[in-house]
Chains A and B, each alone.
Chain A
Amino acid sequence: MSTNTTVVAEKGMVKQKSRSEFARKFHRQKPILILLIPGILWYIIFKYTPMLGALAAFTDYGTKAKISFIGFENFIQLFTSPGFWGAFRNTLIISFCNLLFYFPLPIILALLMNELIFVRLKRLVQFIVYIPHFFSWVVVGAIFAMLLSPSEGIVNQIIMSLGGDPIYFMADQNWFRSVLVGSYMWRDVGYGTIIYIATISTIDVQLYDAATVDGAGYWQKMLYVTLPSLKSTIATVLLLTVARVLLIFEQVLVMYVPSVYSVSEVLTTYSFTEGLLNGNIGYATAVSLFTAVVSAILVIGCNKISKKFLGEGII
């Protein structure tokens, strides 16, 4: 049936052969293109117009009564500032740890939850792990400070009962990054599983049946049916995660204390405390611009890799 209609459609198009390929395509896609208009307009107004503000990076906006262009002065200050390189290094380390430890977790969890036999249980577990997403970072910070407290926290009580010395995790340079990554996982892992669960739910049952007929066991089905079906979602989420991974902000701002500044000051908090909070918008924007460039490089790199492994890039 469908082959017949495409033949008819192609015949119809032959008539328009005089027009160029593009015009034909344009004509055919007109209704679709119209659907795109509101979205594109929205992006231009609310995303691209504000980007003009990035020019502030080349001004002394915020520090003087009159704005004037100062060229690359903010960037020179940036690259010569001692705090900046530390912040850059911390951003890369913390982001990398988040990608390494946090990113695979929702996938694994979604697969495991999918293996639960009782549907009600599956729903319940899904519901429970999703709840922490509602805690704001301030509260997560307070909860972790409580759980990790050297004197009263559960974690240290376990350590002490095993004969260890209590650790002041929240203020210890050797531990604080782990606290950041751990609390991030705790808060958002359940939220992250939603998208995978939604994708798993649409896998064609026939694929499983066919695999069963071929004699595939549970593991094989997970490896050869479920996981490949998630492939494109995983790649997309990875790319989108990479695009935002450097922007970790609120969590650090509410959780860090002076003794761990040197291991946890990231670009966003640096831009906030040394730029925005001082009203030095030009400088803050220069930091953001730098972050954007690094993010862009990461995204392009990630896209290249996914092209190599999946045969197609996301962007």
Chain B
Amino acid sequence: MLFGRRLSALLLCSVMSVSLLAGCQNDKKTSEDGAEERVKLTFCMSQTGWGGEAVDPELMKEVEKYIEEKTNTDLEIIAPPQSSYNDKLNVLLTSGEIPDIFVVRKAMDNIQVMASRGYTMPMDDLIKNAPEITSLVDPEYLDYLKVNGSLQAVPMYVPMSKIIWLRKDFMDQYGVNLSETPTTQEFYNEMKKLAGKGITPFTFPKFLDNLPFFFNPFGAYYGIGVDKDGKYYDGFNTPEAREALSYVAKLYKDKIWDQEFLTNENATIREKLFSGKAASTIDYFNRYIYFVNESEKVNATTEFVPIYELKGPNGQGGNLNEAIQDVICISSKSKHPEKAMEVIKYYFYSQEGVKLRCLGVEDKHYTIENGYIKPMEKALNSGYKCDVNQFLLYYPKFTDYGFKWDESTEKLLPRQMELVEEANKHLGPKYLIPGGKSDLYDKNLSAYKKKIDEISSKIILGTITVDEGYEEYEAFWKSIKGDQMLEQLNN
């Protein structure tokens, strides 16, 4: 037994160590060469992050060259398609080939795991010499990215939240009268006017992690939350959550809620809204110009108005707060963390870098004619847009772009800026659950999330009643030893 174990350990280690050795050798070569040599760094971020979402490899190389020159580095860029980004990153990380700089998605859930597996390098010292970052990012959000008190990553986007977007034309046509913060009852009553009119009053994506928007008005939390005393509790199994689910189920039953929401991709709900198949949807705060422009393109032009939050019976509310989604990490094995930090500072936290990310390289991605920006044809064909929306998501905030957008964008921009500012005043709650504190939690997290999605969707569809749903849920909670899990978290 002992021998067998040793043998198998040996075999496994040999497979893995050979690969690690191969990686190390490459690194050594570059560091031993003189100081003149540019530092070699690998940089892993999905394909869409290199110059206005253009997927053309040639254009991407232009952006790469530009960063290399500005930061005096030799970058090896790994840019997998964004739909396979997580798979590729997982393979790289688990095979020990950790890129010097890499992006982690859904950071609020994943950063703990990344740190506890030793993939990320603590940035506490690095950040001290990075006023570019600390001056821009709210310390609260950096706190989200700390594991055991040490910083593991920096945010790529500003904190994000989702609100409801309504088409003005349908509201006027059917006499729907809603404020920017209506009560749940008002929302139901007014939206009811749109039901049975051949349009979908409210469309929703198949991703049920958007449900908190409807949980917040009832003071419920979709997942493991933190109560007033700072104790962790199961937000899903509360009277408030039942109330919220009954409310949504009622919206569904009365044909206000999209009857086919479970087959809606993110792109589908947007299309439904701007083409006039749906009267409203839930989406990010920076979508105003996008919706107006797209609706114009398909001959369904209208104005779009927001609902920042719904107010519940007790006056509670809040929008869908996603806080931090994508973050940037430095490899724990990086030979040149300072240099990696420099690249991060340039590409994610300087005006020039952000411009490069959002728009690409001048005369490759776009040109400026008479002060107006115009996309080049080659870029245009690979999914590129001269897009102001992206600028709203990044640090630092731009006040002067150095050129003018096309006419309609220029016209709409001030309104969009107002919307951004207002949306930030309606942030819903968002709690961070520390990893490594409860092995039950770490183990069952994804099963838990899947289960609450499953129960919620069945209740909304009406295939089971709220009580039946919670009966099933409680059985599940027992099977994962939920109470024990909470105890572990609270100790």
A174: nearest residue on chain B (CB-CB)? B463
Residue B443 CB within 8 A of the other chain: yes
User: Which of these, A67, A150, A259, A281, contacts B457 with CB under 8 Å?
Assistant: A259
Query: Is A69 touching B113 in the complex (CB atoms < 8 A)?
Result: no
Query: Is B90 touching A83 in the complex (CB atoms < 8 A)?
Result: no
Chain B nearest CB, measured from A307 CB (Å): 34
- Report how far A164 CA is from B116 CA in the complex, Å: 55
Query: Is B117 touching A65 in the complex (CB atoms < 8 A)?
Result: yes
Residue A25 CB within 8 A of the other chain: no
List residues 95-131 of chain B with CB under 8 A from any CB of chain A.
Answer: 113, 116-118
* Known interface pairs A52-B12, A171-B263; A64-B447 also in contact (CB < 8 Å): no
Interface size on A, residues (CB 8 A): 40
B478: nearest residue on chain A (CB-CB)? A82
User: Which of these, B9, B208, B447, contacts A83 with CB under 8 Å?
Assistant: B447
Query: Is A277 touching B446 in the complex (CB atoms < 8 A)?
Result: yes
Query: Is B259 touching A151 in the complex (CB atoms < 8 A)?
Result: yes
Where chain A touches its partner, the secondary structure class is helix
* Known interface pairs A58-B8, A59-B12, A281-B94; A170-B446 also in contact (CB < 8 Å): no
Residue A184 CB within 8 A of the other chain: no
List residues 15-70 of chain A with CB under 8 A from any CB of chain B.
Answer: 49, 52-53, 55-56, 58-59, 61-67, 69
Contacting chain A: which of B59-67, B222-230, B343-351, B448-456? Answer: B448-456
Chain B nearest CB, measured from A156 CB (Å): 11
Query: Is A258 touching B8 in the complex (CB atoms < 8 A)?
Result: no
Residue B364 CB within 8 A of the other chain: no
B472: nearest residue on chain A (CB-CB)? A262
- Report how far A75 CA is from B263 CA in the complex, Å: 35
Residue B86 CB within 8 A of the other chain: yes
Residue A261 CB within 8 A of the other chain: yes
B442 partner residues in chain A, CB cutoff 8 A? 63
A56 partner residues in chain B, CB cutoff 8 A? 12
B117 partner residues in chain A, CB cutoff 8 A? 62-65, 279
B480 partner residues in chain A, CB cutoff 8 A? 82
List residues 254-277 of chain A with CB under 8 A from any CB of chain B.
Answer: 257-259, 261-262, 273-274, 276-277
Chain A nearest CB, measured from B77 CB (Å): 23
Residue B458 CB within 8 A of the other chain: yes
Chain A nearest CB, measured from B248 CB (Å): 13
A53 partner residues in chain B, CB cutoff 8 A? 12, 15
Query: Is B260 touching A279 in the complex (CB atoms < 8 A)?
Result: no
Query: Is A259 touching B454 in the complex (CB atoms < 8 A)?
Result: yes
B453 partner residues in chain A, CB cutoff 8 A? 258, 261
Query: Is B11 touching A150 in the complex (CB atoms < 8 A)?
Result: no
Query: Is B15 touching A49 in the complex (CB atoms < 8 A)?
Result: yes
- Report how far A203 CA is from B23 CA in the complex, Å: 56
Chain A window 152-182, contacts with chain B (Cβ cutoff 8 Å), 1 for yes, 0 for no: 0000000000000000101111000000000
Chain B nearest CB, measured from A116 CB (Å): 38
- Report how far A278 CA is from B112 CA in the complex, Å: 11
Chain A nearest CB, measured from B84 CB (Å): 12
Query: Is B263 touching A170 in the complex (CB atoms < 8 A)?
Result: yes
Query: Is B90 touching A279 in the complex (CB atoms < 8 A)?
Result: yes
With A67-B16, A170-B262, A274-B447 given, can you name 8 additional A-B contacts, CB distance below 8 Å?
Answer: A52-B11, A64-B116, A81-B447, A171-B262, A173-B463, A257-B457, A258-B208, A259-B262
Interface residues of B (CB under 8 A from A): 5, 8-9, 11-13, 15-16, 86-87, 90, 93-94, 113, 116-118, 206, 208, 259-260, 262-263, 442-443, 445-447, 450, 453-454, 456-458, 461, 463, 476, 479-480
Interface residues of A (CB under 8 A from B): 49, 52-53, 55-56, 58-59, 61-67, 69, 77, 81-83, 145, 149-151, 168, 170-173, 257-259, 261-262, 273-274, 276-279, 281
Jot down 16 A-B pairs with beta carbons below 8 A, ordered by A. A55-B12, A58-B8, A65-B117, A67-B12, A82-B447, A82-B480, A145-B263, A150-B260, A171-B260, A171-B262, A171-B461, A258-B453, A277-B86, A277-B446, A279-B90, A279-B93
